[in-house]
Each structure stands twice: as C-alpha cells, then as structure tokens.
Structure 1
Amino acid sequence: MPEQHRTDALWVVVPMYNEVEVLPEFQARLTRVLDALDLPARVLYVDDGSRDASWALAQALAQRDPRVHGLKLSRNFGKETALTAGLDAVACAENVAACVVIDADLQDPPEVIPELIARWREGADMVYATRRRRLGESGIKRLTAALFYRLMRRLSATAVPQDTGDFRLLSARALRALAGLRERQRFMKGLFAWIGYPQAQVLYDRAPRAAGTSKWNYGRLWRFAVEGITSFSTMPLRLATWVGVLTSVLAFAYGAWIVLKVFVWGISVPGYASLIVAILFLGGMQLLALGIIGEYVGRTYLEVKQRPLYLIEDSLGTVAPQPVDTAP
C-alpha cells in the first residue's frame, strides 16, 4: 500500500470544453462518490476555452462546494494540453495522495473511482480503466478505435494499453514523473504508458454521452491517430526507407530487362504506357515519403520553438497554476 499522510487528498482532474449541458449531473454523481470515500477529495475543472457557460457553471459549483477548484485556459489548446495543465497544477499542490483523470461527459462513470483507489492501495502507481464495452458508439468508431490501439502496440516500443482512454488514477510519484515530460506534441495515452511504474487494470462498460455532442469528429480522430503514431514511433520513416529501397531495386531490375530485350533479342519495346505508369508510381511514392518526413519535421519545428504548453486566464479555489516549462 502506498505511503499516505492522513491529510493527503485525492484530486480529480476534469478537462472540459462546452460541457454546460452535462456538468450539473456529472458534479452530482461525482459528489456522491467522493462523499463515500474514506480520504479527503478535491475536484479540479480545467476549462479548455469553452464557448458556452461551462466556466460560469464551474464558478457556481465552487461557491457551493469548497472542494471544487478550477483553471481556465486563455483559449482552446486541445484536450491533451488541458489535461496537462490540470496535472501540472495537482503535481504542484501540497499533500497529494493520488489523482484521477476523468471526462465530464459521463461516458466514464465516476462510480468506478473506488475500484481505481482499491487497486492503487494494493501498490499500483497507475490504475487505468479499460473499456469492456463501448455503448452508444457506432460500429465504425469501435472498429477504428480497436485498429488504432492495436496498430500502436505494433509500431511503438511503448506498450499503450488497448481499449483504454484517459480515465485512470495516478499516484503522486507518477504525477511527478509525468510533470517532467514537456514535449509540445502530446499524446497523453503514450506518455502515461512511457513513465512505467507498477500498473493495474480495472474493466468497465463505457456509457453513451449523457448530454451534448462529442467534440471528436473523424477529422480530429485522424489527426489524433497521426499524433500518437508520430510521437511514439519512427516506424513510418523506416517504412518509407524500405519502400524506397524496394522500388529502386524493382526499377533497376525492370530497366535491365528492357535493355536485355532490346540489345540481345532486338525486340522493340513500346514504352509510352509503361513509362507513364512508372513515372506516376515513383512520383506518388516520393510524395508519400516526403509527406511522412514532413510530419516529423513539422513536429520537430514545433518542439524547438519552446513555446509554453498553455496559458492560464483565471483560476478558482486554492489551486496554483504552475506549468513546468523550463527548457533544459
């Protein structure tokens, strides 16, 4: 069981973006769970530049419940960055026992939190919640999600748990380790896995959204997948290299065959169709390779500028926004 001071608190970090429709129900269910725990608890809402009344509602919740804290980012930085802002604030807080990450849309039920705590008390630094079933999602989304997680396991040396989102519990030690990872292009599921430490799993059924609409369309999901693959694997670069080598070998072999047919057997070879096909094929492969290289170069470009990950516009409660963005 991890060492714990009697005043250490469990923090619950909730990134939110335009969640005003579901936030009251989420807070009510979360409050019932926290009231039943045998350790102090605090809630940190991180508003990722919402355009609705989410922040105003978080302020009202903080007035009614002193356990509620909040951070408001200066604009919409994206969920991964909003989550980072919340975890940074918790890592800088005093008397932190552990931290739970959960979305506000109630697809991840707060009632699972006691199970996460139980596994943490057994000695795990990271307890991640794995989706046993994904209710309310289309077959295409379930299929693409399954393919993505399995592709990540094959391409990356970092073992990212399959069918597992951000819903999890981190120990204080895991929080401190995560605070040291400051890359700008953030794939949190990979970063969670990268830090290692003892890990445990809890299975649960993912519910449909309680209200509102999902912010993840297929375009954003595609960018998210590219982000994950390029952040934790150089396999696409290696694949481009091997495709280039194979294409060159085949091109030279075909060229040698053409020369042989002309000079040995004197066969005249009509070349227009084959020439056009070869040019289009090689041009397409070159553009594909350049595109893959460009993805990595673009990420390197963003990293070397060393901009802050996020900026804080406002805060609630006693939480202190202290991003750890010092360059090495």
Structure 2
Amino acid sequence: MSRALHLGPTVPDVSFVIPAFNEAETIVETLNRVSRKARRLVPQSEILVVDDGSADATLELVQSGHWEVPVRLLRLSRNFGKEQAIMAGLRHAAGKAVVILDADLQEPLRYVDTMLEKYREGYEIVYAVRAHRDDESWLKRRATAAFYRFLNIGSEVPMPAGARDFRLMDRKVVDALCALPESNRFMKGLYAWVGFRSLAIPVELQPRGGGSTKFGFRRLLKLGMTGLTAFTDWPLRMWTGIGMMLASLSILYGLFLASRTLFLGHDVPGWSTLAVAIFFFSGIQLMSIGVLGEYLARVFNEVKGRPGYLIADDVTIAAISKC
C-alpha cells in the first residue's frame, strides 16, 4: 500500500521532534543535518526542539541559529525528563508523520530514508532497534536483558529489547499517544501498547557527537521502576505467592513441632532460632510493603492530576530563504 506525504503548503509532511537537555555541543550540528535531510526528503517539514530545562547554551544556540526549515522551540519550565519532553513535542507536532530522534548525533539520519520508505509501504510505526550492544559493558548488557525479561512477564503486549525512541510514526499513532491520560509515562511501553502496524529496523549507533549521556544509573533505575509498575503487576502477584509459600511452610513446621512434642516430649527452643525467624519474616514483610508502596505511589501521582510538564516559552524560528 502506498501513501502520499505531500499535504499542501500549510501542513508539514514530516515533523522532527528533538528533545534536548544540555546539548550545546551538538545541537547546532544536529539541526543543520536534520534541516538538510528534511529539505531533501519532503516538500514541507518542521523541526520541534524541546529544551528540557537545559543549564548550558542550548537554548541560545537554537534561537540564534539560521536553519533551512522552520524550527519551533519549546522551552520547558524545568527539567521534567526525556519522556515528558517527547510528549511535549508530540502534542505540538503538526506533521502527517512524526520522527523522534535524539540531539546527540548517535542515530545516523540515513535511517530516516528507510523509515519513510517503509511508511509509504503502509507501516504506521517504523522504529529503530540497536543492531548490537558491543559498546556497552557486560554488566549493562546483562541488566538490560534482565529488565526486559522481567518487564515482559505478564505484560499485555511484548516490548522489544533494544528499541530506541528513534522512530517514525503516523499521525493516527501520535494522536493515540496524546490521548492517553496518564502523566507518568514509559514511552517504550506506550509505543507497544497502542499497537498499529509496526516494523523494527536495526540501527548501528555512532559515538556521541559531544557531551555525555544524561541517563546515569539513578535515572535508568527510576525509568525502569516506572516501566515495571506501569505495564506489569507480576511483582504484586509474586509477593502473594511468597506469602502463601511461607504460610504453608509455617503450618507444616507447626505440625512438626506439635507431633514432636506429643511423641517425644517438649524441649526449650533456642533464642537464636527465634531471632533469626523474626528478622527473616520482618524483612519479607517490609519488602512486600515496599513493592505495594511503589504501585500506590503511581496511583497517588496520577490522582493528583498534575500535568507532566509546563511550557515556559514557545518560539518559532522562520527558515532562511533559499535562492
């Protein structure tokens, strides 16, 4: 099935959404490359840069630049995180198709050609997956594999390991994502949950064009907990199973003690055994309460109804004229 991209002079054929947080070293080169790529691929395009509370010169560099296609700059009032920055870009993107990409130049723009080709063939989501993880440490590769394995246990929809935010989506997919009401968002899970006809393409990532990754261990752990609590309830069910198992063992042990006392007489139990048992079961109870608390915290945040982000400035930078 083929699909025409050109919609007329007032509606962009493709919107490029670029979340940026302290990307002063790469943002100029990124916008230059994206604007050249956009002019070559489609008649009408736009670029949305979402400044996620940058503390460096990212904002000033975007505002003072001269770009070949219109650039819209959304400045969030503070750092709300990449997931919310992506949603801010999606809600303001006007294109028939939307491409999300990072500002660090790791994702080669040549793959956008492939995405557009597959989009014209009828796919509504074309997303990138890492071709390999050779650039990561052994520990991070194992941790990532374990996370997706746990995430997919009991999940409504399978979530591909190695999927990137780098993707092209049809307007109907973007509208579906924007219609979802939750404020705590795990975007990789939401991309899978909305469905639609999807295709993965392997991508060879390049070294960062500058700066360092903004996703340290703490941010990754927080994002992982959001994903686990948003898309699977197996941790709750696991503790139910553990409780049933321990209760059964306690009943069996009680029957053993009662039988021994009836037939062999009563002996004085040791305090060490009692202390170990108390500490063990107390730890089990606290861990189960902690898991329950994680889910309750998600419910509490959703009930408050606060928006996921706030926009401080919305500036459109007109494209330079080409003779």
TM-score, scaled relative to structure 2: 0.92
Verify: 1:20 aligned to 2:19, yes or no: no
Take 2:30 and 2:270, find their aligned partners in 1: how far apart are those partners?
68
Q: What amino acid is the match of 1:277?
A: V
Contact kept, 8 Å, 1:66 with 1:317, in 2: the verdict is no
Question: What percent of counterpart residues are identical?
Answer: 39
Take 1:148 and 1:101, find their aligned partners in 2: how far apart are those partners?
24
Take 1:31 and 1:318, find their aligned partners in 2: how far apart are those partners?
13
Question: Which of 63, 69, 94 in structure 2 is aligned with 1:59?
Answer: 63
Q: What amino acid is the match of 1:263?
A: L
Contact kept, 8 Å, 1:136 with 1:207, in 2: the verdict is no
Which residue pairs with 1:184 in the alignment? 183
Contact kept, 8 Å, 1:262 with 1:269, in 2: the verdict is no
Which residue pairs with 1:85 in the alignment? 88
Contact kept, 8 Å, 1:16 with 1:50, in 2: the verdict is yes
Which residue pairs with 1:68 in the alignment? 71
Moved segments of 4+, more than 4 Å: none
Secondary structure of 1:154's counterpart equals coil
Take 2:301 and 2:227, find their aligned partners in 1: how far apart are those partners?
16
Take 1:177 and 1:102, find their aligned partners in 2: how far apart are those partners?
19
Which residue pairs with 2:133 in the alignment? 134
Verify: 1:32 aligned to 2:33, yes or no: no
Take 2:154 and 2:101, find their aligned partners in 1: how far apart are those partners?
27
Number of aligned residue pairs: give it. Answer: 314
Take 1:108 and 1:155, find their aligned partners in 2: how far apart are those partners?
32
Q: 1:142 to 1:33 in 2, by over 3 A?
A: farther
Which residue pairs with 2:241 in the alignment? 242
Which residue pairs with 1:228 in the alignment? 227
Residue 154 of structure 1 and its aligned partner are, at CA, apart by 2.4
Give the superposed CA RMSD. Answer: 1.8
Which residue pairs with 1:324 in the alignment? none
Question: Which of 35, 46, 51 in structure 2 is aligned with 1:42?
Answer: 46
Secondary structure of 1:83's counterpart equals helix
Residue 132 of structure 1 and its aligned partner are, at CA, apart by 0.4
Q: What amino acid is the match of 2:7?
A: R
Secondary structure of 1:186's counterpart equals coil
Which residue pairs with 2:301 in the alignment? 302
Q: 1:24 to 1:136 in 2, by over 3 A?
A: farther
Moved more, 225-234 or 272-281: 272-281
| 1:1-328 mapped onto 2 (5 Å cutoff) | 1-2=2-3, 4-7=5-8, 8-61=12-65, 63-90=66-93, 93=94, 96-134=95-133, 136-317=135-316
Structure 1 unaligned spans of 5+: 320-328
Which residue pairs with 1:325 in the alignment? none
Q: 1:252 to 1:271 in 2, by over 3 A?
A: farther
Structure 2 unaligned spans of 5+: 319-323
Take 1:46 and 1:79, find their aligned partners in 2: how far apart are those partners?
9
Q: Deviations over 1:95-146 (max 9, x none)?
A: x220001111112222211111111111111111111023543332232222
Q: What amino acid is the match of 2:49?
A: Y
Contact kept, 8 Å, 2:39 with 2:69, in 1: the verdict is no
Residue 226 of structure 1 and its aligned partner are, at CA, apart by 0.8
Q: Deviations over 1:62-85 (max 9, x none)?
A: x44442111000111111011110
Take 2:63 and 2:260, find their aligned partners in 1: how far apart are those partners?
81
Take 1:166 and 1:269, find their aligned partners in 2: how far apart are those partners?
63
Take 1:87 and 1:22, find their aligned partners in 2: how far apart are those partners?
22
Take 2:37 and 2:85, find their aligned partners in 1: how far apart are those partners?
24
Secondary structure of 1:230's counterpart equals helix
Which residue pairs with 1:322 in the alignment? none
Take 2:264 and 2:248, find their aligned partners in 1: how far apart are those partners?
23
Q: What amino acid is the match of 1:130?
A: V
Residue 310 of structure 1 and its aligned partner are, at CA, apart by 1.2
Q: 1:207 to 1:318 in 2, by over 3 A?
A: closer
Contact kept, 8 Å, 1:107 with 1:208, in 2: the verdict is yes
Secondary structure of 2:102's counterpart equals coil
Q: 1:239 to 1:198 in 2, by over 3 A?
A: same
Q: 1:186 to 1:223 in 2, by over 3 A?
A: same
Q: What amino acid is the match of 2:3?
A: P
Contact kept, 8 Å, 2:36 with 2:68, in 1: the verdict is no
Residue 190 of structure 1 and its aligned partner are, at CA, apart by 0.5
Q: 1:214 to 1:131 in 2, by over 3 A?
A: same
Take 1:201 and 1:165, find their aligned partners in 2: how far apart are those partners?
10
